[in-house]
Amino acid sequence: MSRAPTIFKHVCVALFAALVSLTSFGTEPEASADSTKAAFLHRFAAYIEWPDDASAEGPFVIGVAGDEGVVKQLESLLPGVTVRGRPTTVRRVNRIADLAGLHLLFVGAGEFKNTRALRAAALEQPILIVTDDEGGLDGGAVINFLETNDTVKFEISLIAADRARLKVDAALLAVAARVERRPQLAGE
C-alpha cells in the first residue's frame, strides 16, 4: 500500500495550518481581513466534495452577498486560478435566481439578517454556505468565519454539510477552530 496519499494529506494539513497562522493583520485590518477571507473562500473549495448532480459544467462559481471588499479581493485573486481543474469566477448575489450554477455562497458581515430567504433557498441545493456572523452556523452555514485578536479563523458544521450533501475533508476539519459534529446514534 502506498503511503503517498497519506503524506500528501499531511502536507496539505500543514500548508492550510500555515495559512491559518498567517492571518494576523497589520495596519489595515479591513483590507487584510477581506484578502484573508477571499483566500480562505478559494481554498475551502479544495477540501469539499460536491455530489455528482452539482453543477459540473463550466466555471467554479463563488457567490458573494453583501461584502464588496471580499468581492474585490476575489476579483483580483481569481483570474487564472482553477478549482478542481475548472476556472473560477465570482458573482454578486442579491436574489434567489442568482444561486443558479453557484458552488459556494459567502454571506458577508452585516448582511446575514437580510439574507434569510436567500440562505433558505441555498440550503435546498448543494451549495457550500460560508458566513461571517456570530450566528452563522445556526443560520445554516457549513463554514463560519470568526475574527478574534486580529486573526481570521473558522468553524465548521458537519450537520449543515450533510444537509447540503457536501463532504468536508478531514484536513479542513483538523485546522478549524471548532467543529459542530453530527449527533452519535446508539451503538456507534
Answer yes or no: are the C-beta atoms of 56 and 171 closer than 8 Å: no
pLDDT at residue 7, rounded to an integer: 41
Cell 436574489 -> residue: 95
For domain 4-180, say whether CATH 3.40.50.2300 is its number. Answer: yes
For the stretch 137-180, pLDDT in tens is 999 999 999 988 778 899 999 999 999 999 999 999 999 999 99
For the stretch 78-109, pLDDT in tens is 888 888 788 999 999 999 999 999 999 999 88
Residue 27 clears pLDDT 80, i.e. is over it? no
| Number of alpha carbons in the 13 Å side-chain half-sphere of residue 87 | 7
Beta strand pairing call for 48-49 and 167-168: antiparallel
H-run or E-run covering 9: helix 4-21
Angstrom distance (rounded) from CA 95 to CA 117 = 9
pLDDT at residue 79, rounded to an integer: 85
Angstrom distance (rounded) from CA 116 to CA 87 = 29
- Left, alpha or beta for 110 (phi > 0: left; psi -120 to 50: alpha)? left
The long-range contacts involving 133-141, CB below 8 angstroms and separated by at least 24 positions, are 133/107, 133/109, 136/107, 136/112, 137/180, 139/112, 141/107
pLDDT at residue 131, rounded to an integer: 94
The three-class DSSP label of residue 41 is helix
Angstrom distance (rounded) from CA 147 to CA 43 = 18
Residue 30 clears pLDDT 90, i.e. is over it? no
* Backbone dihedral angles phi then psi of residue 109, each to the nearest 5 degrees: -55, 140
pLDDT at residue 148, rounded to an integer: 82
Mean pLDDT of 68-87: 87
H-run or E-run covering 89: strand 86-92
pLDDT at residue 6, rounded to an integer: 46
pLDDT at residue 58, rounded to an integer: 83
Mean pLDDT of 63-76: 91
For the stretch 43-55, pLDDT in tens is 999 999 998 877 6
Answer yes or no: are the C-beta atoms of 70 and 38 closer than 8 Å: yes
pLDDT at residue 32, rounded to an integer: 79
pLDDT at residue 81, rounded to an integer: 84
pLDDT band at 184 (very low <50, low <70, confident <90, very high): low
The three-class DSSP label of residue 142 is coil
